[in-house]
Amino acid sequence: MVSRRSRTAYLVIAPAVLVLAVTSLYPAVASLVLSLFNWNWGARFDFVGLRNYADLFNSAEFWQVLYQTFLFAVVATALELVLGVALAVVVDRLKFGQSLIRTLLLTPLMVSGIIVALMSKIVLDPMLGIVNYFLTGLGLPPSPFFGTTATAMSTVIMVDAWWQTAFVFIIALAGLQSLPQEPIEAARVDGAGPVQTFFRVKLPMLRTVLLTVLIFRAIDTLKVFDIIFGTTGGGPQIATEVMQTLAYRKAFSFLQMSEAMTVMVVFSLIVLAICLVYMRLEARFEED
């Protein structure tokens, strides 16, 4: 009986397993294997062991790109979480038009990253962009935005915040609205103000939801590609190069297939580690 039941179970998940085997298991293993060879899309295909890894760890470029990837991810995620939660708290207080406002605030999520990139190039153009026109109109100095190594990174972070804050917002809002009312009422009766109630009562109850949002934003920003590819292309020089644009450049501009895969294997191990920490934390949160 038990075996027949599990046979049905395996049968219904089989198509998914098959599709995932081709699209994720095979390529992950292939990446791992090819990172041990020296292969540049030509006839040469030499086993080099861990030399690609040694070369990668010895290159200053790799460490700079890794640092920039984390800088982008940490700042963008923090910014989006703070803005998204704050916006959710504000919209949660509205009585009329809440659903319309929510819909309008959701629009960036419908827009493709590459379009966000091109759109920001138009509004943030140093010479002809509308944003610099506003800035100078307000008596502020115009910014070169994507144009200089000093400003490019903060500009792409800003663009990502415009794009993805809505994701944090929508989930935080739903979370706020699904909270039980008794503890909130109890706090109010005890004389807690709205600020205290938020930090002492609501925020702790939202932590599982916020942890999920945090992991999704963190991983997603670490994997950033579209908005950098579409705006700076990793430049000026390599000021906004991140792991995925680096892999793209190595593989498709220079056909350094093995090196690109080495970059991705190392990067995937980092992502994997973060996922494992997340699963641990989530399990602990659910126990409480």
Q: Shortest approach of another protein to residue 54 CB, angstroms?
A: 20
| Residue from 1, 4, 15, 195 in contact with another protein (CB under 8 A) | 15
Least distance to another protein, CB of residue 119, Å = 5
Among 46-54, 149-157, 183-191, 254-262, the segment contacting another protein (CB under 8 A): 254-262
Least distance CB 11 / another protein (angstroms):
8
Chosen residue from 26, 57, 63, 254 binding another protein by CB under 8 A: 26
Instruction: Give the DSSP letter string of the chain.
Output: -HHHHHHHHHHHHHHHHHHHIIIIIHHHHHHHHHTTEE-SSSS--EE-TTHHHHHHHH-HHHHHHHHHHHHHHHHHHHHHHHHHHHHHHHHHT--SSHHHHHHHHHGGGGS-HHHHHHHHHHHT-TTT-HHHHHHHHTTPPP--GGGSHHHHHHHHHHHHHHHHHHHHHHHHHHHHHTS-SHHHHHHHHTT--HHHIIIIIIHHHTHHHHHHHHHHHHHHHHT--HHHHHHTTT-STTTT--HHHHHHIIIIIS--HHHHHHHHHHHHHHHHHHHHHHHHHHHHHHH-
Which residues, 198 to 217, sit near another protein by CB under 8 A?
A: 208-209, 212-213, 216
Rank residues 17 and 50 by Cβ distance to another protein and give the closer one: 17
Decide whether 79 or 213 has the Cβ nearer to another protein.
213
Q: Tell me if 65 contacts another protein by CB under 8 A.
A: no
30 binds another protein (CB under 8 A): yes
Nearer to another protein among residue 45 and residue 63 (C-beta): 45
Applying CB under 8 A, among 34, 36, 81, 187 the residue interacting with another protein is 34
Per CB under 8 A, contacts with another protein among 141-180 are: 162, 166-167, 170-171, 174-175, 178
Of residues 115 through 144, those in contact with another protein by CB under 8 A are 115, 117-123, 125, 128, 130, 133
Residues in 214-233 at the binding interface with another protein, rule: CB under 8 A: 216, 219, 222-223, 225-226, 229-230, 233
Instruction: Please report how close the Cβ of residue 279 comes to another protein at its closest, in angstroms.
Output: 8
Burial string for 95-111 (b: 16+ CB within 10 Å, else e) reads: eeeeeeebeebeeeeee
Does residue 54 touch another protein according to CB under 8 A? no
Q: Is 273 in the site for another protein (CB under 8 A)?
A: no
* Residue 44 is a binding residue for another protein (CB under 8 A): no
- C-alpha to C-alpha distances, 170 to 80, 162, 259, 268, 282, nearest whole angstrom: 12, 14, 39, 28, 21
Stretch that binds another protein, among 44-52, 59-67, 70-78, 248-256 (CB under 8 A): 248-256
**Nearest in space to 35 (alpha carbons), one of 274, 191, 283, 265:** 265
β-pair partners for 46: 38
Q: Which of residues 72-111 bind another protein (CB under 8 A)?
A: 87, 90-91, 93-95, 101-111
Q: Does 6 bind another protein (CB under 8 A)?
A: yes
